[in-house]
Amino acid sequence: MLSSLIDPTGRHISYLRVSVTDRCDMRCVYCMAESMQFLPREDVLSFEELLRLCQVFVKQGVRRLRITGGEPLVRRDIGPFFEALGSWLHRPEQMGALDELTLTTNGSRLSHYAETLFNAGVRRVNVSLDTLNPERFAQITRRGKLAATLDGIYAARKAGMAVRVNAVAMAGVNDDEFDSMLAWCGEAGVDLCLIETMPMGDTGEDRTATYLPLSKVKKDLMQRWTLTPLPDRTGGPARYMRVEETGQRIGFITPMSHNFCDSCNRVRLSCTGRLYTCLGQEDGIDLREIMRAGGDDQAILAGIQDAIARKPTGHSFLLGDVSGRVEGPARHMSVTGG
């Protein structure tokens, strides 16, 4: 069924990204500050509260759930949460059924959870990986270990899941690696998606200096690789091309140089229960407050509908080379969930 959640421009909201924690075992330079102040435990929704809110969305026709963080796999007892969500993949549509349950992770704990996730019904995961150089990986993540993330990717593939590697394209940081990453992804049987950096939160880094428009990257890659446009869509903003030499895909996510807002079917639920209707805007609604004040599911739905009725036509990211200014939400990406 079509989602009954419709924004002012007529877009049906069928995709919910759910952050289960703001915590992470890495501190990637484009996502977090090196010294982070994480939320008190009592501010974070319990799994029971998260399931209740997700259920309200799914009953209204949301068909895709993506679990995010922070790093979702650092949260204790995350396995049973996925199992509960996965049970919605097989039930009658009138009860509120899911088409897909997915995950975005940094991969550090994926080797431990790969089989659990597959058994819960997860068939596709996105793994953040910006470099194949161990020293550079440690610099970008400030504390991560490349081997652990690679082990996670291999474990996910072995378990039967499709993997998409997400790499934030950064001038002077990893822009000399895109060819080697494309080749490695072909060997590993995974897709690659390049993402433009976004001005969210103070990370202690100058992101204007590393901003890299992907139009330039695509033009450069096409001098050495045969890239064929594809109609493939996975519910998100990526635009895909087939890499004929490897048989895998490369995706491009371009929030700065060429936004994709006209087809946005997504909203984001933070781990505190705040619903954000746009990654690049602050407007939303506190569903935790409604729920913890004793509101029933109809009150929660009314809050959701009120927020979606204000969903903007598009984001307002501005960054360096694009505008001469830097503008974006003050919150870190880890607060919202990617």
128 is in an annotated binding site: yes
198 is in an annotated binding site: yes
131 is in an annotated binding site: no
Contact in structure between 253 and 259 (CB atoms under 8 Å): no
66 is in an annotated binding site: yes
**CA-to-CA distance for 185 and 240, rounded, in angstroms?**
15
The order of strands in the sheet holding 100-105 is 227-229, 239-243, 249-253, 191-196, 162-169, 124-128, 100-105, 64-68, 15-19, 266-269, 274-276, 284-286
111 is in an annotated binding site: no
222 is in an annotated binding site: no
263 is in an annotated binding site: no
185 is in an annotated binding site: no
268 is in an annotated binding site: yes
Going by their DSSP bridges, the two strands 191-196 and 249-253 should be labelled as parallel
24 is in an annotated binding site: yes
**CA-to-CA distance for 35 and 72, rounded, in angstroms?**
19
294 is in an annotated binding site: no
334 is in an annotated binding site: no
70 is in an annotated binding site: yes
104 is in an annotated binding site: yes
Handedness of CA 96, 99, 104, 105 (dihedral sign): positive
Reference 153, options 179, 205, 191; nearest CA is 191
Structure tokens at 264: 């946005």
Annotated binding residues for GTP, as ranges? 17, 66, 104, 266-268
- Residues annotated within the binding site are 17, 24, 28, 30-31, 66, 70, 104, 128, 198, 261, 264, 266-268, 278
Known binding residues for [4Fe-4S] cluster are 24, 28, 31, 261, 264, 278
Residues forming the annotated binding site for S-adenosyl-L-methionine?
Answer: 30, 70, 128, 198
